[in-house]
């Protein structure tokens, strides 16, 4: 999050002069990479890219790469996914998203280094905070993936785009990965048919009777997983996974049917399904965070502690919207997060800058015109888009200055957020 | 009517009929018998809580004293039924609270019971005596506290294997000092520690206490004190059975046990330290039921314990017993009727103990009264199954689970059709069968031909085509419950045998090849069946009719087909022939 705070301090508190195009200084290099990468990946921008992914910080779902390549062949409708006029809401949400992901930094230490091997051709959003050092040249733009990646972390939800056949082929691809083989074997739900009460007892029985067992007995550890807005709970066996990435991919699969949702005949989302409003809903509330309730009853973000410690203390899992997850965090990051939230409320202007900065690099907010549109047109639309954003920023900042003046000059305490 | 018996006499005669089956037959004779019978039925069993509505039950039987009910299908135990599917106890309890103020017993299995329900129970029924919750969920220890506090005449509180949210152990202290009527207390599924002094006082002031099953948190050192207060115990479930090896603990425990002359059943034994097992040797000769399925005891110690229990009739044990232990069991316990062997490491890739099919073969040879088996193992052969079937034609329940799905005969690499075929052919009284391993349609042909008394069948990863299911549905005359998962059975068999489904309690098919169109057709053809399509991918209307559904649950019902508590992922046929969901 160091780079994010740099950006924030760069633009300073609200009273300083603002250079809305200032971000282009630090981004000019990346911008060119973006446009060139954009060209080559234009073919790849498709409905699949509206996928929102549930990912634990620093992790990549193993099947994302394969899904992506498989879907290149699927002919999906392309339409301008995003209107030219950005709404204020989106910006605010973005700012919240930035904040919510602020505490993900620590996870990199606990990731097994799996993400290194997987970021070969599917990393997006790394240009801004370029911490994992992935080569922008080979970065395939993921199209409309909405994710905020400070220091290589990622939060997004994958949609139910892959049809059943695609799923099977991805499973085949996964199956060849030997690291996943034992986990894949144990993944049949409800087999062997043992009641969960007995399964959970087996865990602790085998733990305390090492002399009989010889090797550590796995047993099973079922916890309930709920998702904001989903009508049902599921249960997962934490002992079937050995790392956060496996858990996240399993949860993606489990809850994927609840994101973009209905599938057409081939399993791909049809045009009318992805209505404007639905997409906007997805964009606004699109960041999903995986949280868990520990033994003390506190809700923590998943990913901060080592895996073994996590499964020892996890009682319940919950997939929350990113906006709801503000204020959550592990103990070491609690303060930091809170501070950031406060700061953003007080000084949203530069956070909007940040958002605009991100917008620029996020294909998600770039209208999709298809492959036969000349590049200049795209550039022009970008510029007009940025101008619109800039004007809205100015307007909102004026409002905020007014508020600040009222606050300090007239001592109107009710305008201050309670600490 | 001058020639008929007076009603009072008939009522007196009917009072000797205890089986629901007999009472149902009686009520079909004529209208006046129906009326007399319904006014004097006090006990009712509802096998599927959605097969009938509370209003219908209350209307027909106005004088009930005991209600026993089951909710979710059996496969819910293995996480195949999504959360929130239903089986809520509250509507029943609320309706019965008004209609049956003198209700005494409630026994629920696989239902969702909330704290509100428990509180309502404790406050509405003045004479409430028995509460048994098997594999239920949804309540916390606060609910238990209200039961303990308000039910003055509570006799049984049995929470077998329920999922209780354990907030604290204080609920036990809510039993008033005046409560001396307790006969059975089973709290083995709870996690947190209860106040030991309250527990001790409760046990001490309950002279009628026959069953006491403690939870894991009760330490071994305290067990002796408890047992001493209740030498009349018939069933005892210990807490954690481990402690530092101390001779005084051991001797007090042994003394306490030797005072229990009537002890017949032992269970619990979590975290066993084998050196403490000899403390129970004094009661072993009278023990008929032994549940060591949570105890990791090495085979040698198990053998020593079991060889003392000559009168053992029921044994539940982990697979640490190994083939050698089962041979010893076969040699010493000739009265054995039920054996269950659970896996200690079901998810491990390699076997951790040497338990094979040979153990089951030896038990079937050595125990002539064996009639019920649940066996988890990693390998099986047709030869072994044929031998078992020949040895033991008196099986009533045979449930075999080979841990690897679709595992073939490890000797010949053939499917296990011949083995299971032998089981159903020889065991004419077989009522319940669960199969596993590699199975083709042939085994279903055998089942359809021979298993005429079969009432419950569980199939997983078996079969090749619809013909298999057709054999079962057309051949098994007594079939009541059929549950299938991950088999290639499709529309044809289900639709061809739609009439059969009306004679069964329920049919569960998950991850099979039943299409949505077939479900709709079935629901249209059979108005008395509720065809629930349980699909988490969204409304089945949005997919073509030939798309297979994830799960379908078919059950007969006289209540409305649109149950009010359906979640979003369940669809049933509406009155105007379209699939609707609530």
For B82-116, how does the pLDDT look when each residue is reduced to its tens digit (9 = 90+)? 989 999 999 999 999 999 999 999 999 999 999 99
Which of B2-6, B30-34, B506-510 is least confident?
B2-6
Say which of A189, A205, A220 has its CB closest to residue B294: A205
- Are A197 and B485 inside 8 Å of each other by CB? no
Share of chain A above pLDDT 70, in %: 25
pLDDT at B538: 84
For B425-471, how does the pLDDT look when each residue is reduced to its tens digit (9 = 90+)? 999 999 999 999 999 999 999 999 999 999 999 999 999 999 999 99
Tell me what the pLDDT averaged over chain A comes to: 53
In the predicted structure, residue B5 carries a pLDDT above the cut 70 = yes
- Judging contacts by C-beta atoms under 8 Å, the chain A residues touching residue B271 are 204-205, 208-209
Section B152-169 average pLDDT: 90
In the predicted structure, residue B336 carries a pLDDT above the cut 80 = yes
- Judging contacts by C-beta atoms under 8 Å, the chain B residues touching residue A206 are 296, 344-345
How many C-beta atoms surround the C-beta of residue A202 within 10 A? 27
Which carries the bigger pLDDT value, residue A92 or residue B436?
B436
Confidence band of B191 (pLDDT split at 50, 70, 90): confident
pLDDT at A93: 38
Nearest CA of chain B to the CA of A303: how many Å? 25
Considering only CA atoms, which of B353, B346, B463, B363 is closest in space to residue B402? Answer: B346
SS (H, E, C) chain A: CHHHHHHHHHHCCCCCCCCCCCHHHHHHHHHHHHHHHHHHHHHHCCHHHHCCCCCCCCCCCCHHHHHHHHHCCCCCCCCCCCCCCCCHHHHHHHHHHHHHHHHHHHHHHHCCCHHHHHCCCCCCCHHHHCCCCCCHHHCCCCCCCCCCCHHHCCCCCCCCCCCHHHHHHHHHHHHCCHHHHHHHHCCCCCCCCCCHHHHHHHHHHHHHCHHHHCCCCCCCCEEEEEECCCCCCEEEEHHHCCCHHHHHHHHHHHHHHHCCCCCCCCCCCCCCCCCHHHHHHHHHCCCEEEEEECCCCCEEECCCCCHHHHHHHCCEEEEEECCCCCCCCCHHHHHHHHHHHHHHHHCHHHHHHHHHHHHHHCHHHCCCCCCCCCHHHHHHHHHHHHHHHHHHHHHHHHHHHHHHHHHHHHCCHHHCCCC
Top residue of A193, A201, A213 to mutate, by most chain B CBs within 10 Å, is A193
Which of A122-136, A318-332, B46-60, B133-147 is least confident?
A122-136
pLDDT at A96: 40
Q: Which residue of B has its CA nearest to A219?
A: B345
Six-digit token pair at A19?
């250079």
DSSP classification of residue B275: G
B532 SS3 class: strand
In the predicted structure, residue B408 carries a pLDDT above the cut 50 = yes
- Are A232 and B536 inside 8 Å of each other by CB? yes
- Judging contacts by C-beta atoms under 8 Å, the chain B residues touching residue A185 are 349
In the predicted structure, residue B580 carries a pLDDT above the cut 90 = no
pLDDT at A412: 56
- Report the length, in residues, of chain A: 419
Which of A235-239, B33-37, B127-131, B490-494 is least confident?
A235-239
- Judging contacts by C-beta atoms under 8 Å, the chain B residues touching residue A213 are 296, 344-345, 352
pLDDT at A201: 77
Q: Which residue of A has its CA nearest to B534?
A: A232
- Are B485 and A196 inside 8 Å of each other by CB? no
pLDDT at B182: 94
Say which of B345, B347, B538 has its CB closest to residue A257: B538
- Are A197 and B135 inside 8 Å of each other by CB? yes
Q: Which residue of A has its CA nearest to B82?
A: A234
Which of A289-303, A334-348, B132-146, B356-370 is least confident?
A334-348
- Are B84 and A233 inside 8 Å of each other by CB? yes
Top residue of A205, A206, A251, A318 to mutate, by most chain B CBs within 10 Å, is A205
- Are B296 and A209 inside 8 Å of each other by CB? yes
Say which of B78, B345, B569 has its CB closest to residue A231: B569
pLDDT at A10: 41
SS (H, E, C) B292-358: ECCCCCCHHHHHHHHCCCCCCCEEEEEHHHHHHHHHHHHHHCCCCCEEEEECCCCCCCCCCCCCCHH
pLDDT at B111: 96
pLDDT at A182: 42
Which carries the bigger pLDDT value, residue A416 or residue B512?
B512
pLDDT at B167: 84
Q: Residue with structure tokens 């549905």? A: B473
Confidence band of A90 (pLDDT split at 50, 70, 90): very low
Highest mean pLDDT of the ranges A291-300, A407-416, B343-352: B343-352
Considering only CA atoms, which of B192, B140, B193, B190 is closest in space to residue B165? Answer: B140
Which of A152-161, A369-378, B55-64, B103-112 is least confident?
A152-161
> Are A68 and A143 contacting, i.e. CB atoms less than 8 angstroms apart?
no
Section B10-19 average pLDDT: 91
Say which of B161, B347, B485 has its CB closest to residue A195: B161
- Are B79 and A191 inside 8 Å of each other by CB? no
- Are A231 and B544 inside 8 Å of each other by CB? no
Nearest CA of chain B to the CA of A265: how many Å? 6
pLDDT at A371: 55
Q: Is B340 left (phi over 0), alpha (psi -120 to 50) or beta?
A: beta
- Judging contacts by C-beta atoms under 8 Å, the chain B residues touching residue A189 are 78-80
Nearest CA of chain A to the CA of B293: how many Å? 9
> Are B60 and B20 contacting, i.e. CB atoms less than 8 angstroms apart?
no
For B352-386, how does the pLDDT look when each residue is reduced to its tens digit (9 = 90+)? 889 999 999 999 999 999 999 999 999 999 999 99
Q: Residue with structure tokens 């042939």? A: B442
- Are B294 and A160 inside 8 Å of each other by CB? no
pLDDT at A202: 74
pLDDT at B352: 87
Rounded distance between C-alpha atoms, residue A178 and residue A158, angstroms: 24
- Judging contacts by C-beta atoms under 8 Å, the chain A residues touching residue B78 are 189-191, 193-195
Section A363-382 average pLDDT: 59
In the predicted structure, residue A79 carries a pLDDT above the cut 70 = no
Rounded distance between C-alpha atoms, residue A141 and residue A255, angstroms: 25
pLDDT at A224: 82
pLDDT at B307: 92
A413 burial class (0-12, 13-18, 19+ CB within 10 angstroms)?
Answer: exposed
Say which of B83, B270, B294 has its CB closest to residue A233: B83
> Are B342 and B316 contacting, i.e. CB atoms less than 8 angstroms apart?
yes
CB contacts < 8 A (A, B): 124
Which of A215-219, A303-307, B532-536 is least confident?
A215-219
Interface of A with B (CB under 8 A): 160, 182, 185-186, 188-199, 201-202, 204-206, 208-209, 212-215, 217-220, 222, 224, 231-235, 239-240, 257, 261-263, 265
Top residue of A187, A202, A234 to mutate, by most chain B CBs within 10 Å, is A202
pLDDT at A301: 83
Confidence band of A406 (pLDDT split at 50, 70, 90): confident
In the predicted structure, residue B122 carries a pLDDT above the cut 90 = yes
Tell me what the pLDDT averaged over chain B comes to: 92
- Are B345 and A208 inside 8 Å of each other by CB? no
Rounded distance between C-alpha atoms, residue B432 and residue B371, angstroms: 11
Nearest CA of chain B to the CA of A214: how many Å? 8
- Judging contacts by C-beta atoms under 8 Å, the chain A residues touching residue B549 are none
In the predicted structure, residue B557 carries a pLDDT above the cut 70 = yes
Rounded distance between C-alpha atoms, residue B365 and residue B358, angstroms: 11
Highest mean pLDDT of the ranges A66-75, A287-296, A370-379, B551-560: B551-560
Nearest CA of chain A to the CA of B404: how many Å? 8
pLDDT at A174: 35
- Are B543 and A214 inside 8 Å of each other by CB? no
Say which of B161, B296, B537 has its CB closest to residue A213: B296
Confidence band of A144 (pLDDT split at 50, 70, 90): very low
End-to-end Cα distance, chain A: 23
- Are A193 and B320 inside 8 Å of each other by CB? no
- Judging contacts by C-beta atoms under 8 Å, the chain A residues touching residue B348 are 217-218
Six-digit token pair at A100?
């919510």
pLDDT at B542: 87
Which carries the bigger pLDDT value, residue B267 or residue A325?
B267
pLDDT at B41: 93
In the predicted structure, residue A53 carries a pLDDT above the cut 80 = no
Confidence band of A285 (pLDDT split at 50, 70, 90): very low
> Are B357 and B392 contacting, i.e. CB atoms less than 8 angstroms apart?
no
Rounded distance between C-alpha atoms, residue A159 and residue A50, angstroms: 7
Nearest CA of chain A to the CA of B17: how many Å? 35
Q: Which residue of A has its CA nearest to B135?
A: A197
For A237-282, how does the pLDDT look when each residue is reduced to its tens digit (9 = 90+)? 787 788 887 888 777 777 765 544 333 333 333 333 334 444 444 4
Q: What's the pTM value of the predicted model, to 2 decimals?
A: 0.66
Which of B2-16, B49-63, B220-234, B284-298 is least confident?
B2-16
Which carries the bigger pLDDT value, residue A389 or residue B490?
B490
Six-digit token pair at B66?
């005991």
Nearest CA of chain A to the CA of B492: how many Å? 23
pLDDT at A37: 41
DSSP classification of residue B492: H
- Are A195 and B77 inside 8 Å of each other by CB? yes
| Helix (H), strand (E) at residue B529 | strand B529-534
pLDDT at B231: 93
Considering only CA atoms, which of A38, A3, A224, A250 is closest in space to residue A128? Answer: A3
A215 burial class (0-12, 13-18, 19+ CB within 10 angstroms)?
Answer: exposed
Nearest CA of chain A to the CA of B345: how many Å? 6
Share of chain B above pLDDT 70, in %: 98
- Are A235 and B79 inside 8 Å of each other by CB? yes
- Are B78 and A194 inside 8 Å of each other by CB? yes
pLDDT at A353: 55
């Amino acid at each position: 999050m160091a780079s994010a705070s740099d950006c924030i301090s760069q633009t300073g508190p609200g009273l300083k002069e603002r250079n809305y195009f200032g971000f282009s200084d630090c981004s000019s290099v990346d911008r060119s990479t973006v446009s060139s990468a954009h060209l080559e990946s234009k073919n790849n921008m498709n409905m699949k890219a509206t996928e929102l992914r549930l990912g634990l910080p620093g992790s990549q779902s193993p099947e994302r790469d394969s899904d992506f390549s498989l879907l290149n062949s699927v002919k999906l409708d392309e339409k301008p996914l995003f209107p030219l006029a950005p709404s204020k809401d989106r910006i605010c949400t973005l700012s919240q998203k930035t904040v919510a992901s602020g505490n993900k930094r620590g996870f990199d230490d606990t990731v097994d280094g799996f993400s290194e091997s997987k970021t070969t051709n599917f990393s997006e959003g790394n240009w801004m905070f370029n911490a994992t050092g992935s080569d922008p040249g080979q970065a395939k733009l993921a199209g409309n993936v909405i994710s905020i990646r400070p220091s290589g972390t990622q939060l997004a939800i994958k949609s139910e785009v892959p049809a059943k056949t695609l799923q099977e082929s991805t499973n085949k691809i996964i199956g060849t990965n030997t690291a996943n083989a034992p986990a894949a074997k144990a993944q049949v739900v409800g087999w062997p048919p043992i009641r969960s009460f007995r399964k959970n007892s087996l865990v602790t029985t085998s733990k305390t009777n090492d002399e009989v067992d010889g090797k550590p007995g796995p047993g099973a550890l079922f916890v309930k997983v709920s998702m904001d807005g989903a009508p049902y709970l599921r249960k997962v066996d934490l002992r079937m996974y050995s790392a956060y990435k496996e858990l996240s991919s399993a949860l993606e699969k489990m809850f994927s049917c609840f994101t973009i949702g209905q599938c057409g005949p081939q399993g791909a989302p049809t045009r009318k399904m992805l209505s404007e409003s639905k997409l906007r809903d997805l964009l606004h509330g699109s960041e999903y965070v995986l949280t868990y309730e520990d033994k003390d009853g506190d809700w923590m973000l998943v990913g901060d502690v080592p895996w073994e410690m996590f499964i020892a203390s996890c009682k319940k899992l919950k997939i929350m919207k990113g906006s709801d997850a503000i204020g959550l965090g592990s103990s070491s990051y609690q303060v930091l997060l809170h501070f950031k939230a406060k700061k953003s409320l007080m000084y949203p202007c530069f956070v909007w800058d940040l958002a605009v900065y991100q917008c620029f690099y996020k294909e998600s907010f770039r209208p999709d015109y298809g492959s036969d549109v000349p590049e200049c047109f795209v550039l022009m639309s970008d510029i007009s888009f940025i101008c619109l954003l800039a004007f809205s920023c100015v307007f909102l900042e004026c409002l905020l200055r007014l508020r600040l003046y009222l606050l300090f000059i007239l001592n109107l305490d009710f305008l201050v957020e309670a600490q | 009517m001058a020639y008929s018996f007076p009603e009072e006499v008939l009522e007196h005669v009917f009072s000797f009929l205890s089986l629901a089956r007999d009472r149902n037959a009686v009520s079909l004779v004529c209208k006046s018998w129906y009326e007399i019978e319904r006014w004097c039925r006090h006990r009712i069993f509802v096998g599927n809580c959605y097969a009938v509505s509370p209003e219908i039950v209350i209307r027909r039987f106005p004088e009930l004293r005991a209600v026993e009910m089951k909710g979710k299908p059996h496969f819910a135990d293995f996480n195949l039924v999504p959360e929130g599917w239903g089986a809520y106890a509250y509507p029943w309890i609320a309706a019965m609270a008004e209609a049956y103020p003198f209700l005494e017993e409630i026994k629920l299995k696989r239902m969702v019971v909330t704290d509100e329900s428990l509180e309502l129970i404790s406050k509405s029924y003045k004479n409430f005596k028995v509460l048994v919750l098997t594999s239920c969920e949804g309540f916390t220890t606060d609910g238990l506290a209200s039961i303990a506090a308000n039910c003055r005449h509570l006799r049984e509180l049995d929470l077998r294997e329920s999922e209780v949210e354990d907030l604290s152990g204080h609920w036990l202290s809510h039993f008033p000092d005046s409560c001396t009527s307790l006969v059975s207390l089973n709290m083995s599924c709870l996690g947190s520690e209860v106040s030991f002094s309250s527990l001790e006082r409760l046990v001490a002031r309950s002279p009628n206490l026959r069953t006491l099953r403690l939870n894991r948190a009760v330490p071994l050192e305290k067990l002796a004190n408890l047992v001493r207060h209740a030498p009349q115990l018939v069933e005892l479930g210990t807490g954690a059975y481990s402690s530092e090896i101390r001779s005084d603990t051991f001797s007090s425990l042994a003394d306490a046990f030797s005072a229990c002359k009537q002890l017949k059943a032992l269970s619990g034994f979590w975290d066993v330290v084998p050196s403490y097992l000899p403390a129970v040797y004094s009661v072993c000769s009278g023990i008929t039921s032994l549940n060591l399925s949570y105890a990791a005891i090495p085979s040698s110690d198990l053998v020593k314990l079991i060889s003392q229990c000559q009168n053992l009739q029921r044994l539940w044990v982990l697979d640490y017993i190994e083939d050698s232990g089962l041979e010893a069991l076969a040699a010493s316990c000739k009265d054995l009727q039920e054996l269950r062997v659970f896996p200690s490491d079901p998810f491990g890739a390699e076997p951790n103990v040497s338990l094979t099919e040979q153990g089951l073969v030896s038990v079937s040879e050595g125990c002539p009264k064996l009639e019920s088996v649940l066996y988890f193992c990693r390998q099986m052969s047709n030869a072994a199954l044929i031998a078992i079937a020949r040895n033991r034609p008196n099986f009533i329940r045979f449930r075999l689970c080979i841990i690897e799905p679709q595992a073939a005969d490890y000797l010949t690499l053939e499917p296990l059709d011949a083995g299971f075929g032998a089981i159903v052919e020889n065991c004419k009284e077989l009522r319940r069968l669960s199969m596993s391993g590699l199975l083709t349609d042939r085994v279903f042909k055998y089942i359809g031909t021979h298993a005429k008394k079969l009432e419950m069948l569980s199939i997983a990863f078996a079969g090749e085509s619809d013909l298999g299911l057709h054999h079962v549905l057309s051949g098994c005359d007594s079939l009541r419950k059929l549950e299938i998962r991950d088999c290639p059975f499709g529309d044809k068999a289900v639709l061809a045998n739609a009439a059969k489904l009306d004679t069964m309690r329920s049919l569960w098919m998950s991850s099979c090849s039943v299409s949505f169109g077939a479900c709709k057709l079935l629901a249209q053809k059979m108005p008395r069946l509720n065809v629930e399509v349980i699909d988490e991918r969204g409304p089945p209307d949005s997919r073509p009719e030939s798309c297979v559904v994830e799960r379908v649950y078919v059950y007969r019902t006289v209540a409305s087909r649109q149950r009010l508590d359906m979640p979003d992922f369940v669809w049933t046929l509406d009155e105007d022939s379209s699939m609707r969901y609530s």
